[in-house]
A and B are shown apart, each in its own frame.
Chain A
Amino acid sequence: MTGTVTYLYAVTGSDPVIPVDELAGIDGAPVTAIDTGELTALASEVSVAALRNLPEHSTGAVPDWLAAAVQAHDAVAVHALRHATVLPMRFGSVYPDQGAVAATLDRHRDRLLTELRRLAGCTEWTVTVQAAAATGSEVHTAPPVAGAGTTFLRARQAELQAERTRRDQLAACTDDLLETLRGTSRELVVSRGQTIRLSCLVSEVETFHAALTALRSRHRTPVRVTGPWPPYHFTGGLFDARPKTGFSDERPEAEDG
């Protein structure tokens, strides 16, 4: 296969119309709104060669093309979100041509419309807490210094106490955060690691932010919030017309708010 394929970024309803006149997709290609009646697909042409030239594995840096493509993918979905409820497609969804995209939307129209209704007025917000975040200025966090034995042991004791304090503060903040977000999010996806990341499906944005502002006043642990984003974490379904293939559809632990 040579030439281009059609890359699908996102699906929206037909009303309101998403303006795409100056919208650029992957490799700067113009984005087209494919109107299929009740649904609209946002798509652009992508070079097959660009896709073929991607390495199959990477243990080094993210390839520049991939980083730019992911940014473009997200930028189109975020643009649509400014105007309407949006269903972001999984990164890398390509079709032979625009007709195949339209046919796919037609085939799954009912389910896509149901998803649009379910997510109407909702946006995704990301709340993160660094598990290794620094705490208040009164906590001694300097590493032990070389010196007399007693001085060294005292410094080490202070270090361990600071670590205990930090962990206690983090645990208290995380517990409070989970409770707060459960109360202000329609759905919640929790991912724990070096970063505790909570993806929140929010319909009452002002209430959500007011609750987080109040939470920040109660804790020293830094809480970071970004958004609004398309509801990537809440549209993870696999719309498959045949028995499941090797596609993965794993999601982090989900907590309904």
Chain B
Amino acid sequence: MTLPNSASYGGAPARSSESLADLLERVLDKGIVIAGDIQVNILDIELLTLKLRLLVASVDTARQLGIDWWQDDPFYARDARALAGENAELRQRIEQLEAAVDGAQQNGVQRTDGASR
């Protein structure tokens, strides 16, 4: 997900668009927290707040572990694609080497067989 640029401020434009991952990184768990001075329905209100914070924390943990949703981010997706490409190359290389080894063994067996005759 790509978000629109913010408006210019102080004479300087926003330099690039921002992804959802960037937005979450910038906003979640930042800013002022005021707690402990609500006297009415305190339990229920704080439960709601804590529930949000729990969710945010779990999302943030997932992000830090590098799994799931942030793979949509073009920056991280590029790394994932590069890694997948490298893995594919390595798998292909292993198959070629295994085929070469198999071929050499077969030739060796034939030569050995031939020598024994």
A residues near B (Cβ < 8 Å) are 1, 5, 11, 48, 51-52, 54-63, 66-67, 70-71, 73-74, 78, 81-82, 87-96, 100, 103-104, 107-108, 112, 115, 123-124, 126, 128, 130, 132, 143-146, 193-195, 197, 199, 205-206, 208-209, 224-230, 232-233, 235-242, 245-250
Contacts and interface: CB of A to CB of B under 8 A. Distances in A.
A51 B41 contact: no
A199 B26 CA distance: 9
A78 B30 CA distance: 14
Nearest to A70: B27
B9 A123 contact: yes
Contacts of B35: 238-242, 245, 247
Given A82-B9, A90-B32, A236-B30, A58 B58 contact: yes
A107 B56 CA distance: 27
Contacts of A90: 29-33
B26 to A, nearest CB: 6
Secondary structure at chain B's binding surface: helix, strand, loop or mixed? helix
B55 A195 contact: no
A230 B30 CA distance: 11
Interface residues of B, number: 66
A23 B18 CA distance: 21
A206 B51 CA distance: 41
B20 A104 contact: no
B37 interface: yes
Contact of A88 (B8, B25, B31): B31
B33 to A, nearest CB: 5
Contacts of B98: none
B94 to A, nearest CB: 10
B68 interface: yes
A225 B16 contact: yes
Contact of A123 (B10, B25, B69): B10
A62 B19 CA distance: 13
B45 A228 contact: no
